[in-house]
Structure 1
């Protein structure tokens, strides 16, 4: 369990939460830290410390407040919808990973972190100067993550004194903590941006998937409306984009901007059938109980068939080829929807640290392998967890027509399941047949083995970093992803 002193420290920090950062957020932080220091996890990595979460406790406990300063607008209802998911008990895995990795990277000697000038200025103690800095330049006075590139009167379109700039408020004592902790101001801002992008995707996903719950309470589309949820997600992405630009590093801007596009690409892959579709079926869109035919292209813009599309005709393509294509499609979609944000944010943290290319690549691969593991476990839990434990509707993938790893492993053994997959389990009894097949052919066990493979690969990537408490905390977190129940 967590020491009394650690709890007192977290309680002290929690007093500075934003108004909407409720006690639930703090409770989540406590629960996360308790999981990280469980005896089983500690034994797995032979760690000598007891409170790995405490390594970044100050940054994590102020996460909601920091994000509040980034997403504020002049419209109270928009503020309410945009901050809705930050109030509830979220896993906050992505910012936690970025912060712990940033701390682990700080243990690399400065002589080995000279790829770019390291930005470690205390952003709250500098006098503001006018002028637009050059991209990639190390921070100077007036060139921090909190300073605008354009005049505020242009950004707001009104007198900036009427609505305070929500992107220029320094955070209480965080930079001083950064200096002691080895976490750079831009890396801390990166963690906040990543959580904003992720939360925007949740708002959109819940509208697309017709979800009715998220994090143990009504989803955004139910609590407000579909339109408000979509607009709030768009607003979060807009605010995140501004914060991305203020990192003033072209490479990081490119990485994070690409993750936003990847999320959309992955969602489109999920909307389409996995594989096993003939040409006519590929031209039909089925969503929300409505079927529409895709308009034919005019030829002005080049379009092409997705590379993973194969035929359901056994006379044209053999079963093994179809299964292999389905798994490739599934993993590609999983990367785009989940692993892209993890992997590219880890890479961005390494770039900002000034680390060399081999370290940057291992950080990227760590995030990629961890992200794939995370989503594969999520797909497995969809079959096994209750709604209460999962925090969102469980056993929903089959009902949505999604063919994830468990059913794909079953299909590998039973080719007849291909027909169910091709029609997205929409006939009566298809879902029950699929669930029984997953159990019969040990689909969940094989899915667990797949997730374990990616977990072990992520741990191997971490071992390329110097030994430190932060690295051990990441190892604990990586193992906990594999064993989580929600």
Structure 2
């Protein structure tokens, strides 16, 4: 039986609890509808993977084993930015559930959901400016630009059966990995330990971010809606062609027709998923995720950190792959 790997939070338990408490305080607004919409997002839960990554990096690279106030705030800002992006994603993807609960646009309407997402982006920008670190402001601001670029790249490639693996990875970077990469770099930039290389942690974040997205796309194919907390096969339905399908295209020519007709018939998504599962495409996608995780592991191993300090950063790598099991 395979050992279940959990996200490492023991060493950051106090900071993690503080983060959960502060998220509610940070979305404070006089408008009850906007507050209710934002509050619903945080109440829906989520594993808080991104801030856990950042807090572990801050702890592991600290000279005195303490996480700076600015680093804690950056972890909170990152989670707010991520949450804001989910609101807009759900509207674009016409997704009615997220983490097993109704999405904001489903609970209220599209207009409120757009405003709620914009409000969260604005709140994160305000707190970001208050860090009083121009370099960090610049790198985190780029994330929001990348989100928009990623959505445009995804939209222009919808139902495009000529999409390449490189196109897919490029889009995945903008939509997912950029947030993790940039925030990993920024958390080091706030550090007083000059021996730690922020560029390396940018690459660490980039590779675990890409692996995370690839595994997410595999789960969209092999999991049930109940397991996902949202409709299974939603990526395909929206024309978002991911790694498992791209790897299958060369082996199952009938997929081209299903994509050309935009999966318009009732059983088209099921047919596409069956075709994917009948090949080794899911394993090929997982192998690609493993390659990125191996690169992330190599980066951490090359850092001048003790075995104890490296442990949780490596555990994060193994956790991301373990989501597949």
**What's the CA shift for 1:209?**
1.1
Once superposed, what is the RMSD of the aligned Cα atoms?
2.3
Closer, same or farther in 2 for the Cα pair 1:196/1:479, shift >3 Å?
A: same
Q: Is the 8 A contact 1:71 1:82 kept in 2?
A: yes
What is the match of residue 252 of structure 1? Answer: 136
One of 194, 200, 214 as aligned partner of 1:376: 214
Closer, same or farther in 2 for the Cα pair 1:431/1:388, shift >3 Å?
A: closer
What is the match of residue 316 of structure 2? Answer: 477
What is the match of residue 453 of structure 1? Answer: 291
What is the match of residue 93 of structure 1? Answer: 49
What are the Cα deviations for residues 83-132 of structure 1, in whole angstroms up to 9, with x where unaligned? Answer: 2111122110000001000111114xxxxxxxxxxxxxxxxxxxxxxxxx
What is the match of residue 106 of structure 1? Answer: 62
One of 35, 44, 50 as aligned partner of 1:79: 35
Give the TM-score of the pair, scaled to structure 2.
0.92
Q: Is the 8 A contact 2:159 2:262 kept in 1?
A: no
What is the match of residue 178 of structure 2? Answer: 340
One of 189, 193, 204 as aligned partner of 1:366: 204
One of 376, 380, 387 as aligned partner of 2:225: 387
One of 98, 119, 123 as aligned partner of 1:214: 98
Closer, same or farther in 2 for the Cα pair 1:422/1:334, shift >3 Å?
A: farther
| Stretch moving more, 343-352 or 59-68 | 59-68
Q: Is the 8 A contact 1:99 1:183 kept in 2?
A: yes
**What's the CA shift for 1:73?**
1.1
1:44-193 matches, within 5 Å, as: 52-107=8-63, 181-193=65-77
What is the match of residue 235 of structure 1? Answer: 119
Q: Is the 8 A contact 1:327 1:408 kept in 2?
A: yes
One of 425, 434, 438 as aligned partner of 2:276: 438
Counterpart of 2:116 in 1: which secondary structure?
helix
Q: Which has the higher helix share?
A: 2
Structure of larger gyration radius: 1
Q: Is the 8 A contact 1:411 1:417 kept in 2?
A: yes
Q: Is the 8 A contact 1:216 1:391 kept in 2?
A: yes
Residues in 2 aligned to 1:80 and 1:383: alpha-carbon distance in whole angstroms: 33
Counterpart of 1:90 in 2: which secondary structure?
coil
Between the two proteins, the alignment pairs up a number of residues equal to 323
**What's the CA shift for 1:464?**
2.7
**What's the CA shift for 1:418?**
3.7
**What's the CA shift for 1:419?**
4.5
**What's the CA shift for 1:181?**
4.1
What are the Cα deviations for residues 148-192 of structure 1, in whole angstroms up to 9, with x where unaligned? Answer: xxxxxxxxxxxxxxxxxxxxxxxxxxxxxxxx7421111111000
Please, which runs of 5 or more residues in structure 2 have no aligned partner?
A: none
Residues in 1 aligned to 2:25 and 2:270: alpha-carbon distance in whole angstroms: 47
